[in-house]
Structure 1
Amino acid sequence: MKRFKRMLTLLSLSAVLAIAGCGSGNSTAANEGSASSEGNQAADISATETAKLQVKTSFYPMYEFTRQVAGDLAEVENLIPPGVEAHDWEPTPQDMAGITEADVLVYNGAGMEGWVDQVLESVQGTELTVIEASKGIEIMEGSGHSHEHEEDADHSHDEHAHEHEEEADHSHDEHAHEHEEDGHQHDHGGLDPHVWLSPAMAVQQVRSIEAGLAEAAPEHKEAFKANADAYVSKLEALDQEFRDGLKDAKRKDFITQHAAFGYLAREYGLTQVPIAGLSPDQEPSAAQMAEVIEFAKEHDVKTIFFETLVSSNVAETIASEIGASTSVLNPIEGLTDEDTAANLDYIAIMRQNLEALQKALNE
């Protein structure tokens, strides 16, 4: 692997320097011996650091999940900087070069990263380990609107789950070729990629990342498993918090700015009513706006959710029209500067989402 080649280069350089030190005069042998020893120690430290896996991740949830699994055995770098909306990002030539030099690339898949096909084509034949974190997860068909569910808003979790299983009766692999043909950055090829917003599915993504890292560095397989086990325990506790916190909600439907919460809604027996489609920069038509306003009035909706990193104008317009308030429901596609400053992470933001949903669904 690349990291071992770099390590061997450094160790060879260390050996050359040690041999050169042995050829010096006896009068300075002690000092030179000390310097040689220090040099060897420095080279060993440097070699150990370079031996760490060099990992690139596509956007924040992939970064956080990978960081938790890798621990101190990898240098994990997120490609998208804080404050940048993931749907709008494109890799620069420098980013492409960095990916090529890395040992591992972790991305979500399911059409989230419209640029990834170009990257995967460019790294063919290299030693890069590529981890598609959503691989093996049943991917739902995307829907710009799910108002057809409004009459079903009082259904139980099991009824919702069965309904959505029929709608999403397509595996990730079955859709792969379809997505490649579509190739659009912002429409996700008709698939809903937002699997990380269900803690239960986040567990599956963590396990996929664990398996990929173990493939890249099999000597650390047990450490990756221990790290993954510890983080999965936290995610399972988060999942239980959502189940307990939402099971007795007075209402089951919520209006959100874009259709990012389908997996969360399905998992906890809720109904997502999105103003726009799968992409946050998709503008709803006048007819769509009127439909959402009518739904909100008929169901006495008091909160319209918007999200971070994109404009809240549409949500505020609808809220103003019906006399409702607005609140944040965070799709966690990236961290804001405020999130970073407050040291918020995936679990902390998901707990904020739970609190926001509990408040809105019990008004």
Structure 2
Amino acid sequence: MKRTKKWDMRRKDMRIWIIGTALAILLAGCGNQSGAKLAEDKTNVVTSFYPLYYLASEIGGEDANVINLIPAGVEPHEWSPKSRDLDITSKAQLLLYNGAGLEGWIEDFLQGLPKSSKLVTGEASDGIALLKGDEDERGLDPHTWVSPKSMLQMADNVKKLLIQVDPAHQADYAANYEALIGKLKALDERFTTQLSAVSRHDIVVSHQAFGYLARDYGLHQVPIMGLSPDAEPRAKDLLDIAKFVKANDVKYIFFEELVSSTLADTLAREAKVDTMVLNPIEGLTPDQEKKGDDYVTLMDSNLQNLLKALQ
């Protein structure tokens, strides 16, 4: 009998441990930025995804507490907010979202805010000439930030919104903005100068995320999938792209890190070419976060890969 009781106790302890572990994992996945908390002595800024987190952190500096809703390694198209995200955002001073249809959840999210919330919201893509999307998918292409030229406009929008909610630190925000603009203008100049010298201009990409980059730097984007990275291409589309790759001497097919490279790999084998990363920078991977990568370093990596593919 004693052995049976001990065994039952062990089984009970094991069940408690398993349930506790599963609950901890579930709660970690349901939250936003790990350990994100509001700060009483700073302007609390919530961002919908990484590029806006980068802009708000750079411009906000020491005066802003920036909380990114989407954790590292999570694809923004596949994410939706939880109740904790709504609670934290409702107590913040500023919410930055991209707009142009990227955050399909934003309307319901804002309607769910309590009436007592004093949150100011802003679309970072405001003022950018938007590209039309696929008729059967979206009205607009939301991937504005993938072009450094667009990021210059988005940085200006973020600066103005920060000053609106916290005018006491206007001088600091303006100074931080000028420092950031220097980096973004230098990045834009590198893209403009170096891509103007390439002999090829066609880029075959797994996800239709590079329309603004192509428009601003004289490239031609040929996507395998549509504006959503999980959109399924038709067999005829894949055949047409394979023919295009062979006819136009395309050397590489680009894929991105936060979604599966299966289709890109399959097409590359069919067309007898290699694959390479072209990062839409919708979010950082945990490794990139650990290494200290940011928007500028990842865009520089993109530039080097483009130059290799288009030489």
TM bucket (normalised to shorter chain) is 0.7 to 0.9
- Letter of the 1:104 partner, please give it: L
Describe the SS at the equivalent of 1:139.
Answer: coil
* CA deviation after TM superposition for structure 1 residue 143, in Å: 3.6
Q: Does the 8 Å contact 2:77/2:102 carry over to 1? A: yes
Describe the SS at the equivalent of 1:105.
Answer: strand
The aligned residue for residue 39 of structure 1 is none
The aligned residue for residue 128 of structure 2 is 137
Distance in 2 (alpha carbons) for counterparts of 1:123 and 1:238: 38
The aligned residue for residue 118 of structure 2 is 127
1:336 aligns with 2:285: yes
Q: Does the 8 Å contact 2:60/2:173 carry over to 1? A: yes
1:211 aligns with 2:201: no
Q: Where do 1:239-318 residues align within 5 Å?
A: 239-318=188-267
1:76 aligns with 2:25: no
The aligned residue for residue 348 of structure 1 is 297
Between Structure 1 and Structure 2, whose CA radius of gyration is higher?
1
Q: Does the 8 Å contact 2:86/2:113 carry over to 1? A: no
* CA deviation after TM superposition for structure 1 residue 123, in Å: 3.0
Distance in 1 (alpha carbons) for counterparts of 2:114 and 2:69: 20
1:217-238 per-residue CA deviation (whole Å, 9 max, x = no partner) reads 1111121111111101100000
The aligned residue for residue 320 of structure 1 is 269
1:234-260 per-residue CA deviation (whole Å, 9 max, x = no partner) reads 000000000111111011111000110
Q: Does the 8 Å contact 1:143/1:259 carry over to 2? A: no
- Letter of the 2:100 partner, please give it: A
The aligned residue for residue 111 of structure 1 is 101
* CA deviation after TM superposition for structure 1 residue 124, in Å: 7.0
Q: Does the 8 Å contact 1:259/1:279 carry over to 2? A: yes
Gaps of 5+ in 1: 1-48, 145-181
Distance in 2 (alpha carbons) for counterparts of 1:204 and 1:289: 35
Q: Does the 8 Å contact 2:44/2:65 carry over to 1? A: yes
**Percentage of matched positions with identical amino acids:** 46
Distance in 1 (alpha carbons) for counterparts of 2:113 and 2:125: 20
> In structure 2, which of residues 139, 148, 151 is the aligned counterpart of residue 199 of structure 1?
148
TM-score w.r.t. length of structure 2: 0.85
* CA deviation after TM superposition for structure 1 residue 122, in Å: 2.4
Distance in 2 (alpha carbons) for counterparts of 1:220 and 1:114: 32
> In structure 2, which of residues 303, 306, 311 is the aligned counterpart of residue 357 of structure 1?
306
Q: CA RMSD in A?
A: 1.3
1:101 aligns with 2:50: no
Describe the SS at the equivalent of 1:278.
Answer: coil
Distance in 1 (alpha carbons) for counterparts of 2:267 and 2:251: 11
- Letter of the 1:140 partner, please give it: L
1:229 aligns with 2:174: no
1:66-94 per-residue CA deviation (whole Å, 9 max, x = no partner) reads 10010000110100000100100000111
Gaps of 5+ in 2: 1-38
Describe the SS at the equivalent of 1:51.
Answer: coil
Q: Does the 8 Å contact 1:56/1:76 carry over to 2? A: yes
